Amino acid sequence: MEHLLEIDQLKTYYFTDCGIVKAVDGVSFSVEKGQCLGIVGESGCGKSQTALSIMGLVSKPQGRIVSGKILYRDKKGHITDLATLSPNGYEYRSIRGKEIAMIFQEPISSLSPVYTIGDQIVEALIEHTTLSKKEATHRAVELLKTVGIPAAEERIHDYPHQLSGGMCQRAMIAMALSCEPRLLIADEPTTALDVTIQLQILRLLKELQERLSMGLMMITHDLGVIAEIADYVIVMYLGKVVEKGPVRKILREPKHPYTQGLLQSRPSGTAGKVRLNPIRGVVPSAIDPPAGCPFSTRCPKVLDKCSAFPPFALWEEGHAAACWLYENFM
Amino acid sequence: MNDKEDQILLEVENLRKYFAVKHGVLRRKKGWLKAVDGVSFELFRGETLGLVGESGCGKSTTGRIILRLIKPEPNSQIFFHDNDKVIDIAKATPQELKYLRTRMQIIFQDPYSSLNPWMKIGEIIAEPLLIHKIMVGKELTNKVHSLLEMVGLDASYAMRYPHEFSGGQRQRIGIARALALNPTLVVCDEPVSSLDVSVQAQVINLLVDLQERLHLSYIFIAHDLGVVRYISRRVAVMYLGRIVEIGSTEEIFHNPAHPYTEALLSSMLSTDPDSSKERLQLEGDVPSPINVPSGCPFHPRCRYYQQNKWPECVSDIPTPTSIYSDTHKVSCHFAPNLNLCGVETEGTVKIGVKNGFNT
Ligand SMILES: Nc1ncnc2c1ncn2[C@@H]1O[C@H](COP(=O)(O)OP(=O)(O)OP(=O)(O)O)[C@@H](O)[C@H]1O
Ligand SMILES: Nc1ncnc2c1ncn2[C@@H]1O[C@H](COP(=O)(O)OP(=O)(O)OP(=O)(O)O)[C@@H](O)[C@H]1O
Ligand code: SF4
Ligand SMILES: [Mg+2]
Ligand SMILES: [Mg+2]
C-alpha cells in the first residue's frame, strides 16, 4: 500500500542539563488515507513528541530529531522526508497547517484570546488558500456548522473565552479542518471534556475522517477512545513502540504484557468486589531507561533475556509485539 | 450489609449556594449563579456515594459546602451525626467547626498543585496534627511514618520534597495527609482523574483498602463513570445544581430512570471495539447555571420532551420521587412512563411513552 505518512526509526531527543531525554526512541509506523491510527500510552511515553516531530515543532534548542525518516506523500504522489526540511522553511510551511493539521493537547492555548474565532479561521484560510476575505468568512461559517456549532453566523464574532470547553474544542477542529488537510493529528482532543461532549467530538472526527477520506492520528491515553474510533493502534512505552496491530487484535488479544496490564487496570463492572489489577511500580525516567525491554522493570513475566531489546514477534494481520515471551520473530 | 453501614452519617437537606455574578457582553448585568440549588441526600457510615454529572453542575461546590470550606445559603441543613451528638454543619459555631475539621477531610484532583513545594513530605503530613495540637516530637514522627507506610510509601520519604515524586505518589501523600486526623468522612474530588490508568488503579485499590480498615465514608466525585461504578455503593447524578437521580450503583447503571442518566451512561466508552455503536447522543452543551431553563432544567436537551412536548416539562420543576424501590429517587415528571436503557441492558432503546400519560 502507498502510505500517506510513513515514520521510520524516528528518534527525537532532548539534550537537558540532567541528561539526554529519549522522548521518541526509534519509532516506526504508517498512516493510511481514510484510516484512523490510534496512539496510546501513559503520560510521558512520547506521544505528543512524536506528533510534534511530524509537525516540525520540536522545541528548540534542546530538542532535536536525531535520526529517522518522516516520509509524507503529497497529492501528486511525491514523497518528501519532512525530517530533512527546515522547520521554518517555505516547504514545511506549505505543508504544515495545510496538508497536515494538528489539534493540540491544550485547546485554549492554541486559540488566541484576543481575536474572535471567526477571524482566526478566516486568517488561516486566507493564508493557505486563494479565497477572498468574503469567501473565507462564508467558508468559516460553513466549517463551524460542520463541527456542530449552532448559530454559527453569530458565533464567529465570539472570543474563545465566551465559548464552553466543548465549543472551543470544536472551533479548534474547525480551524484544523479549514484547509482540508489530508492528515489530521489530534492530540488528546477530548481529555478535558465531559463524557457527553467527548462522544460528540469523537463521532464528529470519525465522520469527517470517513467523509473527507482523511488520515487521522488519534493520540490518547484512554483505551476507551481507541475502541471507539481507531482502526489500527500502536502502543507506546518510554519512547518506543511495544505493540501494534488492528484495533480488535490489540483490545481482544493483547500480546505485550504492558498492553495486557493497561487493559486489566481499567475498572470494569460493579462495586469493588474484585480488586483492580494495576501494573506494579512506576514508569522509569526517560533519561535513564532500563537496558533492553523498556517494560522489564515492571513486567510480571520478565525473563533473563529481557535485558536485551526484543525484536517484534508477528501474528496475522500485521499484529506485532516487541516481547521475548514469543518466538515467532520476523 | 451490616447494621453499622446503615447508620446515617450525614443528612443533607435543601443545600443551596448562589454566587453573585456579573454577566452579559459588558459584564454589567448582575445576577445569581445557582451553583447548587436544593440538593438533598443521605450518606451512611462506611459507604461510598458517587457524585457524577457534567462539568459545572455543582459537584465540587457540594463537596466544599459539606466541609464548610464555603458557606451555604441560609436554610440549608447538613446534619453530621457524630458518635453521640448531631451537629448542623451549615450553622456550626467556630468551635464546632474546628472540631469538624478533624472529622472531615478532602482529597483534591491535582496532586501537583495541592502540595506545598517548599515543605518536606513529613512536614506536609504532620501539618494538620500540629495545627490541631494533637501530638508533637517523637510521637508525631512515628505517626507520620506509619501514615506513609499505610499509603504504601517508604517512611524515609518523609525527608524528601514533592517534586521528587510521581503523580500517583503525590496523590498517596495527599491521602496520608487527609487521614492524619482519623477523619470519618473524606470528600474525594476527582482523586484519580489526573492519573494514568495503571496508577489510577493503584490509588483506587488504596482508597478501597483504607475504607475497609478505617471504616471511612467517602463522597466520591468523578466524571469517569467506570471508576464511579467500581467504587461506589450508591450514586447521585447531578444536573445544573440539582440531584436528578439517586440510587444504588446497580439501580443507576442497570435501571436508570432519568433521561439525563440514560444519556450519560450511553456516552460511557468501553474497550470493546464492537460495543454499542448505537449510542444515544446527547445534543448541545450544559446550559448556563445563570439562566436555568424553566420547569425541568433538562428539558431543552431531553429527547423525550423533544418528541412529546409535554407542557409539564416546561412549567413545573420535578421533585425527587421514589421509583422502582425506596432507595431509588428520580426527578422527572414522566419517569414511570419511560423505558430507559442502562449499561449492558438487553434490547433496544424504546422511545417515548410506554403506558400513556400519568395523571
Ligand atoms: N521541552 C522538553 N524538555 C525536556 N524534555 C521534554 C520536553 N518536552 C517533553 N519532554 C520529555 O519527553 C518525553 C515525552 O513527552 P511527551 O510530551 O511526548 O509525552 P506524552 O506521551 O504526550 O505524555 P502526556 O500523556 O502526558 O501528554 C517526556 O519524558 C517528557 O518529559
Ligand atoms: N467562587 C465562585 N464564584 C462564582 N462562580 C463559581 C464559584 N465557584 C464555582 N462557581 C460556579 O458554580 C458552578 C458549579 O461549579 P463546581 O466547581 O461545583 O462544578 P463541578 O461540578 O465540580 O464541575 P467540574 O466537573 O468542572 O469540576 C460552575 O458554573 C462554576 O463556574
Ligand atoms: S421532566 Fe420532562 S424534560 Fe425533564 S427529564 Fe423528564 S421527560 Fe425529560
Ligand atoms: Mg502529550
Ligand atoms: Mg469540580
With respect to residue B250, please indicate whether it lies within any of the assigned structural domains.
Answer: no
| Set of chain B residues whose Cβ sits within 8 Å of the Cβ of A262 | 197-198
Q: Does B152 touch chain A (CB under 8 A)?
A: no
Spell out where chain B has E strands. 8-23, 29-44, 48-52, 77-81, 86-88, 104-107, 185-189, 217-221, 234-239, 242-248, 321-323, 325-330
Q: Give the domain range for residue B122.
A: 3-232
With respect to residue B142, please indicate whether it lies within any of the assigned structural domains.
Answer: yes
Beta bridge partners of A65: A12
CA distances from B40 to A17, B78, B114 (A): 55, 9, 29
Q: Which strand ranges, in their side-by-side order, compose the sheet holding A79-81?
A: A19-31, A5-16, A63-73, A79-81
Q: Compute the distance between CA of residue B111 and CA of residue B208 in angstroms, rounded to an integer.
A: 19
CA distance A272 to chain B (A): 5
Residues near A145 by Cβ (< 8 Å), separated by ≥ 6?
A: A152
B294 and B159 within one domain: no
Residue-level pLDDT at A276: 86
| Predicted confidence (pLDDT) per residue in B297-312, tens digit | 999 999 999 999 999 9
Angle of CA points A153, A156, A158, to nearest 5°: 125
With respect to residue B349, please indicate whether it lies within any of the assigned structural domains.
Answer: no
Residue-level pLDDT at A171: 87
Q: Does B270 touch chain A (CB under 8 A)?
A: yes
**DSSP code of residue B145:** H
Q: Which of A200, A221, A271 sits opposite B230 (nearest CB)?
A: A271
Pocket of ligand 3 (CB under 6 A): B 259, 296, 298-299, 302, 304-305, 310, 313, 318, 332-334
pLDDT beneath 50: ranges in chain B = 1-2, 4-5, 345-359
With respect to residue A30, please indicate whether it lies within any of the assigned structural domains.
Answer: yes
Q: Which strand ranges, in their side-by-side order, compose the sheet holding B104-107?
A: B104-107, B185-189, B217-221, B48-52, B234-239, B242-248, B325-330, B321-323
Angle of CA points B307, B311, B313, to nearest 5°: 80
Q: How far is the CA of B294 from the centre of ligand 3 (A)?
A: 11
With respect to residue A173, please indicate whether it lies within any of the assigned structural domains.
Answer: no
Q: Does B24 touch chain A (CB under 8 A)?
A: no
CATH number assigned to the domain comprising residue A208:
3.40.50.300
Q: Compute the distance between CA of residue A268 and CA of residue A263 in angstroms, rounded to an integer.
A: 10
Model pTM above 0.80:
yes
* Phi, psi values for residue B119, rounded to 5°: -105, 145
Q: Does A194 touch chain B (CB under 8 A)?
A: yes
B218 and B295 within one domain: no
**DSSP code of residue A327:** -
Atom 1, ligand 1: which residue's CA is nearest? Answer: A59
With respect to residue B300, please indicate whether it lies within any of the assigned structural domains.
Answer: yes
Residue-level pLDDT at B25: 60
C-alpha closest to that of A140 among A127, A124, A162 = A124
With respect to residue B209, please indicate whether it lies within any of the assigned structural domains.
Answer: yes
- How many percent of chain B have pLDDT more than 90? 64
Q: Does B230 touch chain A (CB under 8 A)?
A: yes
Contact A268 B226 (CB under 8 A): yes
Residues near B83 by Cβ (< 8 Å), separated by ≥ 6?
A: none
Q: Compute the distance between CA of residue A115 and CA of residue A132 in angstroms, rounded to an integer.
A: 19
For residue B57, the ligand closest to its alpha carbon is 2
B293 and B193 within one domain: no
**DSSP code of residue B74:** T
**DSSP code of residue A96:** B
Residue-level pLDDT at A269: 64
With respect to residue A72, please indicate whether it lies within any of the assigned structural domains.
Answer: yes
Q: Which strand ranges, in their side-by-side order, compose the sheet holding B77-81?
A: B29-44, B8-23, B77-81, B86-88
Residues near A263 by Cβ (< 8 Å), separated by ≥ 6?
A: A223, A251, A254, B271
Q: Does B290 touch chain A (CB under 8 A)?
A: no
Phi-psi region of A188 (alpha: psi -120 to 50; beta: other; left: phi over 0): left
With respect to residue B98, please indicate whether it lies within any of the assigned structural domains.
Answer: yes
The tally of domains found in chain A comes to 1
Q: Compute the distance between CA of residue B71 and CA of residue B92 in angstroms, rounded to an integer.
A: 10
With respect to residue B162, please indicate whether it lies within any of the assigned structural domains.
Answer: yes
Residue-level pLDDT at B169: 86
CATH number assigned to the domain comprising residue B183:
3.40.50.300
Q: Rg (Cα) of chain B, in Å, rounded?
A: 22
Q: Compute the distance between CA of residue B142 and CA of residue A42 in angstroms, rounded to an integer.
A: 35
Q: Give the domain range for residue A17.
A: 3-99+181-268+276-322
B270 and B200 within one domain: no
C-alpha closest to that of B321 among B310, B336, B306 = B336
pLDDT beneath 70: ranges in chain A = 1, 106-109, 269-273, 330
C-alpha grid cell for residue B293? 431553563
Cβ atoms of residues B165 and B92 within 8 Å: no
B269 and B221 within one domain: no
With respect to residue A7, please indicate whether it lies within any of the assigned structural domains.
Answer: yes
Which of B261, B333, B339, B354 maximizes ligand 3 atoms within 8 Å of its Cβ, making it the mutation to test the pocket?
A: B333
Helix%, strand%, coil% for chain B, nearest 5: 35, 25, 40
B270 and B209 within one domain: no
B217 and B132 within one domain: yes
Ligand 1 neighbour A235 (Cβ under 6 A): no
Q: How far is the CA of B207 from the centre of ligand 1 (A)?
A: 29
The tally of domains found in chain B comes to 2
C-alpha B288: how far from chain center: 20
Q: Could you give the angle at which helices B121-131 and B137-150 cross, rounded to 10 degrees?
A: 120
Count of CA atoms in the C-beta half-sphere (13 A) of A142: 12
Atom 27, ligand 1: which residue's CA is nearest? Answer: A43
Q: Compute the distance between CA of residue A46 and CA of residue A236 in angstroms, rounded to an integer.
A: 7
Q: Compute the distance between CA of residue B196 and CA of residue B153 in angstroms, rounded to an integer.
A: 18
With respect to residue A8, please indicate whether it lies within any of the assigned structural domains.
Answer: yes
With respect to residue B111, please indicate whether it lies within any of the assigned structural domains.
Answer: yes
Q: Compute the distance between CA of residue A198 and CA of residue B155 in angstroms, rounded to an integer.
A: 41
Q: Is B276 exposed, middle or buried (0-12, 13-18, 19+ CB in 10 A)?
A: middle
| Predicted confidence (pLDDT) per residue in B191-211, tens digit | 888 788 888 888 899 999 999
| Set of chain B residues whose Cβ sits within 8 Å of the Cβ of A283 | 166
Contact B269 A270 (CB under 8 A): no
C-alpha grid cell for residue B301? 436537551
Residue-level pLDDT at B291: 83
Bridging pattern class, strands A240-246 and A232-237? antiparallel
Q: How far is the CA of B69 from the centre of ligand 3 (A)?
A: 33
- Alpha-helix runs per DSSP H in A147-253: 152-155, 165-177, 195-211, 223-229, 247-252
| Predicted confidence (pLDDT) per residue in A148-159, tens digit | 787 888 888 888
With respect to residue A37, please indicate whether it lies within any of the assigned structural domains.
Answer: yes
Residue-level pLDDT at B344: 67
B113 and B160 within one domain: yes
Beta bridge partners of B49: B219, B234
